[in-house]
Amino acid sequence: MEREEESAMASVGIVMGSDSDLPIMAKAAEVLDELGISYEMNVISAHREPQEFFEYANAAEEKGYKVIIAGAGKAAHLPGMCAAIFPMPVIGIPMKTSDLGGVDSLYSIVQMPTGIPVATVAINGGANAGILAAKILATSDAALLERLKGYSANLKQQVIEKDARLQELGYKEYLKQQ
């Protein structure tokens, strides 16, 4: 949802340390859009603008966020710092990096100290972060749960259709048409 369309009380905060993360974070937003979940999206660097970060994290609960999706690369402190301040679930998306392929980001996000958990998806796993946020919200929203079930049924149907196409064409022709 674009900022102009957002409700006063977004359910999910999407935050990234750099606009270079936007293509991955957009995948989370696309899932939330598809499932009708409101969100706000920001670029905030925990390292380069700590005061703005603390204001964001401290205000997240008051703004109505139930989940924060935070993406970061390299040292990747943004998700962990969100989890240190925000009392509800934080989902970290480790970004693929040129230096270590995102393993640095993954380790940074997943290795949180006891008491400060961050749910972590795959490197560049924006869509799964959106789905996980939706599943968390669906624990108290029956209508959203039904939309999630429909989303899963659609994924199943896509696989069935791909298999039917493979059976019809054979693998060589199928690969040619990819």
- Tell me the per-residue pLDDT of 104-162, one tens digit each, with 9 for 90 and over: 999 999 999 999 999 999 999 999 999 999 999 999 999 999 999 999 999 999 999 99
Instruction: Write down the pLDDT at residue 9.
Output: 85
Q: What is the pLDDT of residue 26?
A: 98
Please say whether the beta carbons of 29 and 1 come within 8 A: yes
Residues listed for the chain: 178
Residue 8 banded pLDDT, cuts 50, 70, 90:
low
Give the pLDDT band of residue 5 (cuts 50, 70, 90): very low
Cα(30)–Cα(147) distance, integer angstroms = 14
Query: Average of pLDDT values for 36-45?
Result: 97
Hey, is 146 helix, strand or coil? Answer: helix
Residue (of 87, 67, 74) closest to 45 by Cα position: 74
Classify residue 64 as left (phi > 0), alpha (psi -120 to 50) or beta: left
Q: pLDDT band for position 2 (50/70/90)?
A: very low
Q: Is the pLDDT of residue 55 over 70?
A: yes
